[in-house]
């Protein structure tokens, strides 16, 4: 082979190899190109090297120098391509990526303050042996009124004070009570459902939504939550009621809270009281309570001569607002994250 042919073969190969390395788009195509040009067994370089022997002795030195130059140029093109594709390990990793930097924390919502409050209340009452019970939000008049000793002509059943369902129309339920279904106006409904279901002793609380057509203001909202409590056994007294509520209040609001009962009236308790807590300098009403009325026991088939019990119903939002210093109930339901994220 003439020196001239040898040199032009190398020129052509060098160009081809550089182009192949530059255009390699991933580790695999780059490796295939490396084998093709620099491979030990059958690479193009090897073929050219073999032809050195057929060159005139006088020209060998020139040929050898060009061959070395070829090797280093092609090797350099290969190294450049490797760097471009992400280094020797071929992971494609961005060299500007610093794996030791702390990650960006994804924002994953959090639990609504009213839900947090209910979980807390359930925990406190659970420690006193109260189990959680549930009832439907769409109720029939038997559970919302009749069994709770609220007769047909009672003002609490006024359509202006309740969300009766238009679609359910009127009908009779399994108790043959006439009237439309409604969104429950109190969690006292769950007292009836629990007592219909099982025999004393009973010790339950029920936390959930209730609905009343009140115009929203700082202390009213057409949907809110109540915590209902019911304890039925033999020889239950008003003193038991007061103790349970005091333990509850000190657990939830703090040791310096005081409790006060004011005489009141509810159709489903006799006697009935209004429950106030003295906290941070003022008395605040949190709900109603009393000894379960014998008429209620009769409605669910309990013998009022044998059993006695107490019940209470407290406003969950009030408790939540007092504890956290929230002054407007509407803030809880505005959906404004700047407010909600504080809890």
- Our finding on whether 290 is near ligand DAH (CB under 6 A) is yes
- Our finding on whether 144 is near ligand DAH (CB under 6 A) is no
With CB under 6 A, what is the number of residues at the site for ligand DAH? 12
The sheet that has 282-292: what strands, in order across it?
131-132, 202-211, 223-233, 308-315, 282-292, 269-279, 258-266
CB of 328 to ligand DAH, least distance (A): 21
Compare residues 63 and 291 and give the one whose CB is closer to ligand DAH.
291
Compare residues 14 and 293 and give the one whose CB is closer to ligand DAH.
293
Contact with ligand DAH (CB under 6 A) among 288, 299, 318, 321: 288
- Our finding on whether 181 is near ligand DAH (CB under 6 A) is no
- Our finding on whether 188 is near ligand DAH (CB under 6 A) is yes
Question: Judged by CB under 6 A, which stretch of 79-87, 255-263, 282-290, 332-340 contacts ligand DAH?
Answer: 282-290
CB of 293 to ligand DAH, least distance (A): 9
- Our finding on whether 313 is near ligand DAH (CB under 6 A) is yes
- Cβ contact 295:151 at 8 Å: no
Q: Identify which of 331, 335, 329 has the alpha carbon closest to the alpha carbon of residue 317.
A: 329
Positive or negative CA dihedral for 108, 114, 118, 123?
A: positive
- Our finding on whether 163 is near ligand DAH (CB under 6 A) is no
Rounded distance between C-alpha atoms, residue 203 and residue 311, angstroms: 10
Contact with ligand DAH (CB under 6 A) among 221, 248, 266, 277: 266
CB of 207 to ligand DAH, least distance (A): 13
Give the three-state DSSP class for 258: strand
- Cβ contact 17:32 at 8 Å: no
Rounded distance between C-alpha atoms, residue 225 and residue 240, angstroms: 24
Phi-psi region of 281 (alpha: psi -120 to 50; beta: other; left: phi over 0): left
Compare residues 113 and 309 and give the one whose CB is closer to ligand DAH.
309
In the numeric block, which tokens belong to residue 68? 């070395």
- Our finding on whether 297 is near ligand DAH (CB under 6 A) is no
Q: By the criterion CB under 6 A, which residues form the site for ligand DAH?
A: 186, 188, 228, 266, 269, 287-290, 311-313
């Amino acid at each position: 082979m003439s020196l001239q042919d040898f040199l032009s073969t190398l020129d052509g190969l060098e160009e081809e190899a550089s182009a192949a390395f530059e255009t390699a788009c991933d580790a695999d195509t780059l490796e295939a190109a490396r084998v093709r040009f620099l491979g030990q067994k059958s690479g193009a370089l090897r073929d050219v090297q073999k032809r050195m022997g057929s060159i005139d002795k006088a020209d060998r030195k020139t040929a050898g120098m060009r061959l070395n130059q070829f090797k280093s140029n092609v090797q350099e093109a290969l190294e450049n391509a490797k760097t471009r594709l992400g280094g020797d390990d071929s992971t494609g990793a961005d060299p500007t990526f610093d794996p030791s930097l702390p990650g960006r924390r994804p924002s994953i919502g959090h639990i609504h303050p009213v839900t947090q409050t209910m979980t807390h209340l359930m925990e406190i009452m659970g420690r006193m042996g109260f189990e959680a019970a549930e009832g439907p939000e769409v109720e029939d008049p038997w559970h919302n009124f009749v069994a709770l000793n609220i007769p047909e002509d009672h003002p609490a059943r006024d359509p202006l004070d309740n969300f009766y369902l238009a679609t359910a129309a009127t009908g009779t339920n399994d108790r043959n009570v006439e009237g439309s279904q409604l969104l429950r106006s109190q969690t006292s409904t769950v007292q009836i459902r629990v007592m219909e279901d099982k025999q004393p002793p009973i010790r339950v609380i029920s936390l959930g939504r209730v609905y009343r057509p009140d115009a929203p203001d700082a202390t009213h909202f057409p949907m809110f939550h109540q915590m209902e409590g019911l304890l039925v056994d033999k020889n239950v007294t008003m003193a038991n009621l007061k103790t349970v509520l005091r333990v509850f209040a000190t657990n939830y609001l703090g040791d310096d809270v005081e409790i006060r009962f004011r005489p009141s009236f509810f159709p489903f308790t006799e006697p009935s009281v209004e429950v106030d807590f003295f906290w941070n300098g003022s008395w605040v009403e949190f709900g109603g309570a009393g000894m379960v009325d014998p008429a209620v026991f009769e409605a669910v088939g309990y013998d009022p001569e044998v059993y006695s019990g107490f019940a209470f119903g407290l406003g969950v939002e009030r408790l939540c607002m007092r504890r956290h210093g929230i002054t407007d109930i509407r803030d809880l339901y505005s959906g404004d994250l700047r407010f909600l994220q504080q809890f």
